[in-house]
Amino acid sequence: MIAQLIFIIILAAAVYFFGNNVSKIRRNILLGKDTDRNDQPALRWKVMAKIALGQTKMVKRPVAAVMHFFIYIGFIIINLEVLEIMIDGVFGSHRIFAHPLGGLYGFLIGGFEVLAVLVLTACIVFLCRRNVVHLKRFTGTEMTQWPKSDANYILITEILLMTAFLTMNAADYKLQLLHFGHYITAGSFPVSSLLAPLLPGSASALVITERVCWWFHIVGILCFLNYLPYSKHFHILLAFPNTYYSNLNPKGKFTNMASVTNEVKAMLDPSFVPENNGEPARFGAKDVTDLTWKNLMEAYTCTECGRCTSVCPANITGKLLSPRKIMMDTRDRITEIGNNIDKHGKDHQDDKSLLDNYITREELWACTSCNACVEACPVNINPLEIITEMRRYIVMEESQAPASLNNMFGNVENNGAPWKYSQADRFNWAEE
Amino acid sequence: MNNEPLAIPTMAEMAAQGREPEILFWVGCAGSFDERARKITRDICKILQHVGISYAVLGTEENCTGDPAKRAGNEFLFQMQAMMNIQVLDGYNIKKIVTGCPHCFNTIKNEYPGLGGNYEVIHHTQLIQQLIDAGKLKAENGESFKGKKITYHDPCYLGRGNGVYEAPRAALEILDTELVEMKRCKSNGLCCGAGGAQMFKEPEPGIRDINIERIADVIETKAQVVAAACPFCMTMLTDGVKNQDKEQEIKVLDIAEITVRANGL
C-alpha cells in the first residue's frame, strides 16, 4: 500500500513539473510573431508522417540513421512496457498484462528485450562517436561544455535505464524459475535469461534486485521526462509539431514582407490607402521576439546534431557562421527572456538582444543563402529564415549593410543592375 | 541552315507590329553586362531561333529583379524593383518567361506572384529538356563530346531552391559522353559561394574561398568539362579553375553553350 502511495505521489509530481515546464516553453514560443501555418492540413500530416515518423531525412547518413532508428523505435515500443509498469505501480499488481495477453505477452517482452539491446548498442556507439572518435560534426564554437555534457547525460541515462530494465527482467525470470511468490511465468526472456546466471541465487536477494531495478527504471524514466524541457532531447516531442508546421513552399522562396508592400505601394501610388494601420512593426529581427513562433519552435526542436553546420559552405571554409549556432542562440535567448518574465514580470527589459549579444554581424553576412542547412535538417528546421530576418533589420532599420552591399543597392536603384553600368547599355550584348 | 544571322526581337518592336511572342526571354543583369554571360545569352537566343520559337527580349526595358537586394535584406528595394518589373511585364501581356539565371528564375517564379505578377517561368535548362523531349533539339552536326567526362554543378536556386535537378542533366545525357557526379551533388550540392548577395562583397575571413572548396570536388571527378547553369556559378567556377591553374585541363561551360556547340549553331 505504501509503495503504491509513494508511486502515485512520484508520478503525480513528475507529470505536474513536466506539464509546468512544457507550458513555459509553449508560452515562450508564442512570444514570437504570428504566421499562418494551418493551410493544407492533409499535406502537413503527410510531411509529418514522412519526416518525423518515417525519419526519411535521416538516411543521408546511414550509420547515424540506423543507430538512431534503434533508439527511436526502442523508445516508442518500450513505452508499451512503461504502460504496464505504471498500472502495476498504481494498483500494486505485477505484470498485469501477462495473464490477459498469454503467449503474445512473452513475445512482446522478448521484443522489448531485443530492442533494449539494440538501444544499448546504439547508445554506446553514439558515446564513442562523441567522446572517442571525436566526430567533427559534434565540435565547433557553439559546442561548449553544456551541449557536450547534455548529449552524454542523455546517452548515459538511456544506457542505465535499459540496463535496469534487463536486470529487472533477469531477476524476474530467475524468480519465475523458482516459482517464487507472485512471479508468474511470463515468456522466455530471450536476452535477460542470458544475464540470469550473473545474479545471486537466493530468492530474497533476487526480489530485492528486481524491486530496486523496477523502481530505478520507472523513477529514472520520470526524471528523464523532466530533464527533457532543459535539454536538446526535447526534440523527441517537438519533432512532430515542427514538421507538421513545415514550410511547404519551394526553399528558394523568401517571404514578401507585407509591411513593406504597403509602403512601396504608397510610394508608387499616392492615392493608395494601406489595408491595416496597425502598430508600426519593426522591419526584420533584432531580437527573438521579432521572429515568428515557428522560428522559436524550431529553436526548441533543434537537437544540435550539426548536420546543418557540416554542410554549410561558409562554415566548411572557416567562416564564423554556423547554422546550428543560430538555432542554439535563438533558443538560449528566448529561454532567457522567458526566465526574465518568470522573475521580473512580463514587461521586463534586459537591454540585450539576439543581434550582437548572441549572433554577430560577421556570422550573418557570411551566409550564401544556399539552403544546404535547411535541406540537411532531419526535422525541417530553417536557420536561413532567421539569418534573413536579421539581415533585414540591419539593412532596413539600421542602414548598416557592408559598404560593398550598399554600393550594390545604389546600383540596382539607379542603374537597374547590381553593377555600375548604364541602363542604356543593357541591350548591347545583342550587337556583338 | 545554321548560318542565318541572329535576329533578336524586342518586346517593343513586336508590340509596334501588333504581335505577341510565345515566350519572353528574361536575360538578367549578368546576362546583359557580364562578358562571359553575354556569350551565353546569345547562345540561348541561338537555340530559340534554331527551333523557331517565337520569342522576344525586353532589351533596355529590363531591370534587375531585385534578387540580390532581397537576399541581402533590402526588402524595400526588392519590392520596388519587383513592382516596376511587373508593370512592364503586364504591360506587354506576358504569360511565359524563360531565363538563363536561376536567381531571376526563382524570384520571378516564387516571389513575384505575391506582389501581383503571375507568369509561367522556366529556366533555360528546362526549355532545353522540353525541346529534347519533343525531338526539336538533338546533339548533332556540331562538336562531339564523345569520350569526354562532364560533371554538372547544381546552382542552389535551381536545385535545392526549386528542385530542378534532372533538366540540366537531361541536356548532358544526350551528348554520348560520360556524365560523372561530384561527391556533393543534387540536393547535397555545394554552393559556388556567390549566392545571398556574396557576389557583390568580399567574403568574411576564413581559411579558404568557397569556390576553391568547390573546384576541389570538380578536380576529383577528373572531368574535362564542368557544366554550369547560372552566370554567378560560371564566374565562381571559372575563377576557381584559374586559381588552381587548371585552365588547360578543365573548361567551364554553360548548358546552353554545350547545346549550341553540340548542334553547331
pLDDT in tens, chain A (432 residues): 899 999 999 999 999 999 999 999 999 999 999 999 999 999 999 999 999 999 999 999 999 999 999 999 998 888 888 999 999 999 999 999 998 998 899 999 999 999 999 999 999 999 999 999 999 999 999 999 999 999 999 999 999 999 999 999 999 999 999 999 889 888 889 999 999 999 998 999 999 999 999 999 999 999 999 999 999 999 999 999 999 999 999 999 999 999 999 889 888 888 887 776 566 678 999 999 999 999 999 999 999 999 999 999 999 999 999 999 999 999 999 999 999 999 999 888 999 999 999 999 999 999 999 999 999 999 999 999 999 999 999 999 999 999 999 999 999 999 999 999 999 999 999 987
Nearest chain B residue to A361 by CA: give it.
Answer: B204
Chain A residues closer than 8 Å to B81 by CB: 412, 416
The strand pairing partners of B198, in sequence order, are none
C-alpha grid cell for residue B135?
525531338
The distance of A243 to chain B (nearest Cα, Å) reads 18
pLDDT at A78: 83
Closest CB to A253 among B72, B110, B190: B110
* A401/B59 Cβ within 8 A: no
Smallest CA-to-CA distance from B53 within B87, B25, B14, B28 is with B25
The distance of A221 to chain B (nearest Cα, Å) reads 38
Chain B residues closer than 8 Å to A428 by CB: 32
Task: Give me the phi and psi of A359, to 5 degrees please.
Answer: -110, 130
Containing H/E element for B123? strand B120-123
pLDDT at B62: 98
Angle at A17 between CA A15 and CA A18, to 5 degrees: 60
Sheet holding B178-180, edge to edge: B178-180, B149-152, B225-228, B251-254
Angle at A82 between CA A81 and CA A83, to 5 degrees: 90
Separation of first and last alpha carbons in chain A: 95
Q: Percent of chain B at pLDDT above 70?
A: 99
* B68/A421 Cβ within 8 A: no
Sheet holding B96-99, edge to edge: B55-56, B23-26, B96-99, B120-123
CB contact set of B52 (below 8 Å; sequence gap of 6+): none
* B209/A426 Cβ within 8 A: no
CA distances from B66 to B33, B86, B102, B112 (A): 16, 12, 13, 10
| ipTM confidence score | 0.96
Sorting pLDDT into bands at 50, 70 and 90, what band is B136?
A: very high
| Cα gap A90→A12, rounded to integer Å | 11
Chain B residues closer than 8 Å to A326 by CB: none
Q: In the CATH hierarchy, which fold is given to the domain comprising B139-262? A: Rossmann fold (3.40.50)
Taking 60 as the threshold, does the pLDDT of residue B100 lie above it? yes
The distance of A270 to chain B (nearest Cα, Å) reads 14
The distance of A274 to chain B (nearest Cα, Å) reads 14
Q: At what angle do helices A145-177 and A62-91 cross, to 10 degrees?
A: 50
Chain A residues closer than 8 Å to B99 by CB: none
pLDDT at A188: 85
Smallest CA-to-CA distance from A225 within A16, A6, A8 is with A16
pLDDT at B1: 44
Chain B residues closer than 8 Å to A424 by CB: 60
Chain A residues closer than 8 Å to B195 by CB: 368-370
CB atoms within 10 A of CB B76: 22
CB atoms within 10 A of CB A397: 15
CB contact set of A213 (below 8 Å; sequence gap of 6+): A164, A165, A167, A168, A171
Nearest chain A residue to B197 by CA: give it.
Answer: A368
- Note the Cα B195 to chain centre separation in Å: 14
CA distances from B166 to A209, A352, B97, B154, B232 (A): 61, 47, 20, 10, 20
Chain A interface test: which of B25, B32, B80 (most A C-beta within 10 Å): B32
Nearest chain B residue to A284 by CA: give it.
Answer: B73
CA distances from B119 to A85, B85, B107, B108, B110 (A): 61, 12, 11, 8, 10
C-alpha grid cell for residue A278?
496597425
Chain A residues closer than 8 Å to B206 by CB: 314, 317-319, 366
Q: Is A404 within 8 Å of B202 (Cβ atoms)?
A: yes
Chain B residues closer than 8 Å to A321 by CB: 204
Nearest chain B residue to A404 by CA: give it.
Answer: B201
Chain B residues closer than 8 Å to A253 by CB: 106, 110-111, 161
The distance of A148 to chain B (nearest Cα, Å) reads 25
What is the average per-residue pLDDT within B142-168?
A: 96
Closest CB to B161 among A250, A365, A394: A250
* A251/B73 Cβ within 8 A: no
Smallest CA-to-CA distance from B119 within B30, B44, B50, B22 is with B22
CB contact set of A363 (below 8 Å; sequence gap of 6+): A319, A320, A321, A322, A325, A326
* A264/B80 Cβ within 8 A: yes
Q: What predicted TM-score, i.e. pTM, was given to this entire model? A: 0.95
Closest CB to A362 among B8, B115, B204: B204
Closest CB to A257 among B10, B75, B83: B75
* A317/B198 Cβ within 8 A: no
State the number of CA atoms in the 13 A half-sphere of A39 facing the CB.
Answer: 5
Nearest chain A residue to B212 by CA: give it.
Answer: A317
CA distances from A35 to A98, A128, A294, A421 (A): 49, 41, 8, 40
Closest CB to A313 among B31, B193, B207: B193
Chain B interface test: which of A427, A431, A432 (most B C-beta within 10 Å): A427
Task: Give me the phi and psi of A292, to 5 degrees please.
Answer: -85, 165
- Note the Cα B113 to chain centre separation in Å: 21
* A409/B77 Cβ within 8 A: yes
Taking 90 as the threshold, does the pLDDT of residue B51 lie above it? yes
Chain A interface test: which of B75, B77, B105 (most A C-beta within 10 Å): B75
* A320/B207 Cβ within 8 A: no
Which residue in the block uniquely carries the three cell numbers 561544455? A145
| Cα gap B24→B11, rounded to integer Å | 8
- The domain B11-129 having CATH identifier 3.40.50: the answer here is yes
- Give the DSSP letter of residue B57: B
CB atoms within 10 A of CB B131: 19
Chain B residues closer than 8 Å to A260 by CB: 75-76, 79
Closest CB to A412 among B68, B75, B161: B68
| Cα gap A299→A235, rounded to integer Å | 10
CB atoms within 10 A of CB B3: 6
| Cα gap A377→A239, rounded to integer Å | 11
* B62/A416 Cβ within 8 A: yes
pLDDT at A279: 61
| Cα gap A380→A308, rounded to integer Å | 11
Task: Give me the phi and psi of B254, to 5 degrees please.
Answer: -75, 155
* B74/A395 Cβ within 8 A: yes
The distance of B86 to chain A (nearest Cα, Å) reads 13
Task: Give residue limits of the domains in chain B.
Answer: 11-129, 139-262
B11-129 against B139-262: fold identical? yes
* B74/A401 Cβ within 8 A: yes
The distance of A145 to chain B (nearest Cα, Å) reads 24
- Give the DSSP letter of residue A256: P
* B203/A402 Cβ within 8 A: no
The distance of A62 to chain B (nearest Cα, Å) reads 15
What is the average per-residue pLDDT within B162-182?
A: 95
Plot region of A187 (φ>0 → left; ψ -120 to 50 → alpha; else → beta):
left
CB contact set of A299 (below 8 Å; sequence gap of 6+): A288, A327, A328, A330, A331, A334
* B200/A404 Cβ within 8 A: yes
The distance of B247 to chain A (nearest Cα, Å) reads 23
Chain A residues closer than 8 Å to B243 by CB: none
